[in-house]
Amino acid sequence: MTTRQRILDASLALFNEQGERNVSTNHIAAHLEISPGNLYYHFKNKQAIIFELAMSYQQRVLTVLEVPEERALTVTDKITYLQGILSGLWDYRFIHRDMEHLLAADDQLKSHYQAFFRQCLQRVVAIYRGLRTAGIIALNDDDLNSLALNTWIVVTSWISFLRTHLLAQGGQPENMLQLQGGVYQVFALERPFLTEAFRDEVVALQQAFAPRPQWLHSLF
């Protein structure tokens, strides 16, 4: 693997674990046992590393959100989408931790991200339209748009919600289970719009993602 790629991988891992704020370029170099000069030979500054990671993240998410045109959507599709997005968010979780800072520090990243968000929202809308066409949910366009936006907000906030409100240290195994709770939570958004024909089936599926009692009951 090239040094350049090793820098990206190490940066991503360290940013995720400790937060971008707490990881300096010197830390990254030391972790890789290379010199700071070497790091700066491959990237002109820290922003450039972040920018590249953010591009990978966006590509990952957009790939997950592709909408099949030739066939109708199924309930399983929806789960696949959610799991894909949640695992993408997890793998790049440093990005949503203080995105305001990342965007404020890099105009190029900001415009890229805002375009990316529009694309995402359009695809989420398209997915819900697909579910409506498939007869799985029933709602008007206003409700659908609001649902799409609320879904986006809940999904993208879910990880930081977990990390701030629940388990203290960011142990991965524990959180991976809780991560699935995001699926449950989004299903709860859609549930009232389910058609009678699909309600029982979907609700049964949702239960598979029900948060484990040990932390759910500690909430309510």
Partner DNA sequence: GACGCTTTAGAGTAATCACTCTAATAATGG
Partner DNA sequence: CCATTATTAGAGTGATTACTCTAAAGCGTC
Q: Looking at 55, 67, 75, 121, which residue binds a copy of itself (CB under 8 A)?
A: 121
Which region among 39-47, 106-114, 160-168, 196-204 touches DNA (by CB under 7 A)? 39-47
Choosing among a copy of itself, DNA, none, which partner's interface includes residue 34 (Cβ < 5 to 8 Å by kind)?
DNA
Contact 211, 178 (CB under 8 A): yes
Cα separation of 171 and 4, whole Å? 28
Cα separation of 56 and 11, whole Å? 13
Cα separation of 204 and 202, whole Å? 5
From the list 121, 92, 132, the residue with the least C-alpha distance to 12 is 92
Binding mask 82-121 for DNA (x = CB under 7 A): ----------------------------------------
Task: State the Cα angle at 130 between 129 and 134, rounded to 5°.
Answer: 115
Residues that bind a copy of itself (CB under 8 A): 19, 21-22, 97-101, 103-104, 110, 113-114, 117-118, 121-122, 125, 139, 143, 145-147, 149-150, 153-154, 156-158, 160-161, 163-165, 168, 184-185, 188-189, 191-193, 218-220
